[in-house]
Every structure is written in structure tokens, then in C-alpha cells.
Amino acid sequence: MTPPMTNAIPATPVLASKLPAVGTTVFTRMSQLAAQHGAVNLGQGFPDFPCDPKLVDMVTDAMRAGFNQYPMMTGAPVLRNAIAAKIGALYGHAYDADSEITVTAGATQALTTAILCCVHPGDEVIIIEPAYDSYLPTVELAGGVPVLVQMEVGPEGYRVPWQRIAAAVTPKTRLLVINTPHNPTGTVLRQADIEALSAIVQGTDILILADEVYEHMVYDGQRHESMSRHPLLAARSFVVSSFGKTYHVTGWKVGYVAAPAALMAEFRKVHQYNVFTTNTPMQHGIAAYMADAAPYLELPAFYQKKRDLFRAGLAGSRFELLPADGTYFQCVRYGAISPLPEAAFAEWLTTEIKVAAIPVAAFYQGGTESGIVRFCFAKQDDTLRLALDRLARV
């Protein structure tokens, strides 16, 4: 029987959210606020300068050469081989390009896929806060139980409290998420940190998800302690990196993950159904560009100059600079300027001073307040100088 005709607007069924606590990200909100008020956007982490024109030419050449259809699910072989060669040269670990490297649609997809492939309902995942915002929601989508351990922050900046992490380990611990260099704090793991981490996982079945997207942004002569450098850790790690961060093309969303073959086999089972594969001509263009190692080998010096310019510009201000050993972020305390909570202070900076920042409280599940905001210095020098001129008057 045909239902009677009605002018009523059909009701949309109620959907119970799988992420009820998640709204619009702070990065989107602050970028929108910056645009609305004509502020210098030092909030969201992306460069305001172009990539190397050679890279664009190489992607264009790949398109014209006909690399426009699906590549292999695991990534174009030429790029996987280039990635394996780079890791071997830098960190001394020989990954098999066929079975242990997968190209992804950006680092966030790699992180999400790694979590989904290994975390089962009820598994515990240790997340170190402040933390990149995708970790916790993905653990929840997988049915895992986030176990949050906060970094300690003092006059010398942030440090990982390894004793508290060791105490958080239980028989249900499945995964430990490591981020070095660390977003948002700019902290870099050192040899002592690697030794502490190794002691925690040795003799267990705990896996490591290593977010190393800022691997080429480590300063003052320090080296990046990739999990790939250390056999005990490499044997249990998904190591994630990002061409977007390395080559100033964040909008291209091309990254990769390296892992032992047994772990990669499970990663690929999920990867083939949540994205299947990644932009073909960009893979071929990036592979061609990687033949010259100079762009990533020179990146630490490139960004250290910007860091030093930014720090020097704030040195005489009322902002208190925290150490910035890696990434392209600078955290500052503002207690000498304002008693406002971090989100309110960041909004005030954006609307009144015309410089956008990100409240570090946004990187904690409970919004822990430390009186600290984060600036991004991956900008043209003129952009930084304009921001510094405004911030110096605060």
C-alpha cells in the first residue's frame, strides 16, 4: 500500500556518535579566526612558502608520462625502494621495500591504519600527553582503552616521565605511541630516552607506533633517534613519516610507514580497505626528487635559522621561551602577560594582537592548563618578522 502524501519534511534518523566528545579541531577554529581578523597565522602547522619548483616539475613529468592510474596498493615500487634506501642510509636499518614499506595518504592515515590493525576492543594504548589530536579518537574507534600519561614540564621544558609510563603498563597494554620530534612541545628523544623505552618493552609483546613526521627537523647538532636505529625497537615498531612535512607540501598528503613484514602484513589488510592506495603521479615525482638527498639533509639548518630568528625576536618580550629542539614549533609561557586560560589567551592574541597561536591545552584530553601556547615558525622570514613586531608590543 502506498503511504499517504504529506508535506512534512522527512525526519533524519538519529545517529549515535562514535566520537561524541569530538568537535571541530582547534586548528580549524584558530585558522578561521585568523582569517576573519587578518592575523598572522602561526597556529596551524603548515608553511606559507612554496615547495621546490623541481618537485612540481617532476610530478608534472610523471603525469605526462602516463602515471595517472592506480598504482600498487602498497605504493609505487620506485618510491618504496627510495624510502628503504633513505632509511638504510640514515638509520642503518634494512627494510625490505616489497614487504616492509607502504606508501600512505599522509601520515595521519598511516597512524590511523596502524592503530586499527593492531588494537582490539579492550586493548590498552599508552598515549603521552600533550598529544597530536588524532591518536586518541582512533584508539576509541578501534575499541581500545587510552591510557594517558602526561609529560612533565618545568623551567627546562618538557620531558617524558618514563617511570610513570612503566607503571602504566599492564598485561592489557598492546601499543605505546611515541612522537619524536614531538608535536606540540618540540621535545626530541635522546639516547637516555631510548634506553628507558627499550627497558619498558623488552620481554613484552607491546608494539610501538612511532610518529616521526618531523624526523628532519632536529637542531643544534643533535641526531634523530628513529625507532629504526635500534633493532629491539625496530622489531616491534610501525615507523611513520611524511613527505608533506619534509618537502613543504602538506596539502599533497603523501606519507609512509615502515614495519617488520609480519606487522606490515596486518597493516596492509586495513590499508587496502580504508584508502587502498595513494596519488600515483605524486609518488613517482617524489621518488625522482629523492634521488638528491640534499633537500632533506639540509632541512635542519633551514629550519634552525627560522627557529633562531623567531626566538631572537621574542627574547626581549614578556613571553618565556621553552626549549625547541625539533619540529617547527615554539612553545612559550605567557604568565607574565595574562592570567587568561590558554584558549582565551590564544583568541585574544588572534583578535587583538593579530597573531594566531594554538593553546597547548588542546593537546590534552582533559584540557590541562599550563599557561603555554604554541607558535609555528614554518613561515617566510617576512611573515615571522611581522608577527614578531606585533608580539614584541604585548
CB 158 within 8 A of CB 152: yes
pLDDT of residue 24: 78
CB 336 within 8 A of CB 318: yes
Q: Assess whether pLDDT exceeds 90 at residue 1.
A: no
Q: What is the CATH number of the domain that holds 311?
A: 3.90.1150.10
Nearest alpha carbon to residue 360 among 322, 317, 305? 322
Share of the chain above pLDDT 90, in %: 92
How far, rounded to the nearest angstrom, does the alpha carbon of residue 251 sit from its chain's CA centroid?
14
Q: Are residues 132 and 245 in the same domain?
A: yes
Q: Are residues 220 and 313 in the same domain?
A: no
Q: Are residues 358 and 343 in the same domain?
A: yes
Residue 21's pLDDT band (boundaries 50, 70, 90)? confident
Q: Are residues 240 and 368 in the same domain?
A: no
Q: Are residues 345 and 210 in the same domain?
A: no
CA distance 170 to 358: 34
Q: Are residues 308 and 244 in the same domain?
A: no
pLDDT of residue 6: 65
Using the structure block, give the residue that is written with the C-alpha cell 612535512: 245
- The per-residue pLDDT for range 52-109, each reduced to its tens digit, is 999 999 999 999 999 999 999 999 999 999 999 999 999 999 999 999 999 999 999 9
Nearest alpha carbon to residue 123 among 70, 172, 74? 172
- The per-residue pLDDT for range 235-263, each reduced to its tens digit, is 999 999 999 999 999 999 999 999 999 99
Q: Are residues 287 and 311 in the same domain?
A: no
Q: Residue 141 contacts by C-beta under 8 Å, 6 or more apart in sequence?
A: 18, 19, 116
Average pLDDT, stretch 34-58?
Answer: 95
Q: Are residues 334 and 281 in the same domain?
A: no
pLDDT of residue 9: 86
Look at residue 12 and tell me if it is in a domain: no
- Which domain range does residue 330 map to? 26-45+297-391
CA distance 14 to 20: 13
Look at residue 19 and tell me if it is in a domain: no
**Cell digits of residue 183:** 608535536
Angle value at C-alpha 240, between 238 and 241, nearest 5 degrees:
160
Q: Assess whether pLDDT exceeds 90 at residue 5.
A: no
The residue among 291, 313, 333 that closes a domain is 291
Average pLDDT, stretch 123-131?
Answer: 98
Q: Are residues 347 and 226 in the same domain?
A: no
pLDDT of residue 3: 61
Average pLDDT, stretch 273-296?
Answer: 97
CB 158 within 8 A of CB 151: yes
Mean pLDDT of the chain: 96
CB 376 within 8 A of CB 44: yes
Q: Assess whether pLDDT exceeds 90 at residue 326.
A: yes
Average pLDDT, stretch 309-316?
Answer: 96
Look at residue 246 and tell me if it is in a domain: yes
Q: Are residues 71 and 212 in the same domain?
A: yes
Residue 16's pLDDT band (boundaries 50, 70, 90)? very high
Q: What is the CATH number of the domain that holds 194?
A: 3.40.640.10
Q: Assess whether pLDDT exceeds 90 at residue 28.
A: no
Write the CA distances from 363 to 132, 174, 210, 223, 371, integer angstroms. Answer: 6, 22, 17, 26, 13
Q: How many residues does the chain have?
A: 394
The residue among 241, 270, 291 that closes a domain is 291
pLDDT of residue 282: 98
Residue 4's pLDDT band (boundaries 50, 70, 90)? low
Q: Are residues 261 and 308 in the same domain?
A: no
Look at residue 4 and tell me if it is in a domain: no
Look at residue 195 and tell me if it is in a domain: yes
pLDDT of residue 155: 80
Residue 373's pLDDT band (boundaries 50, 70, 90)? very high
Q: Assess whether pLDDT exceeds 80 at residue 366.
A: yes
Q: Are residues 262 and 341 in the same domain?
A: no
The total of structural domains in the chain comes to 2
Look at residue 76 and tell me if it is in a domain: yes
The residue among 291, 316, 337 that closes a domain is 291
Share of the chain above pLDDT 70, in %: 98
Look at residue 9 and tell me if it is in a domain: no
pLDDT of residue 330: 98
pLDDT of residue 2: 63
Look at residue 6 and tell me if it is in a domain: no
- The per-residue pLDDT for range 344-358, each reduced to its tens digit, is 999 999 999 999 999
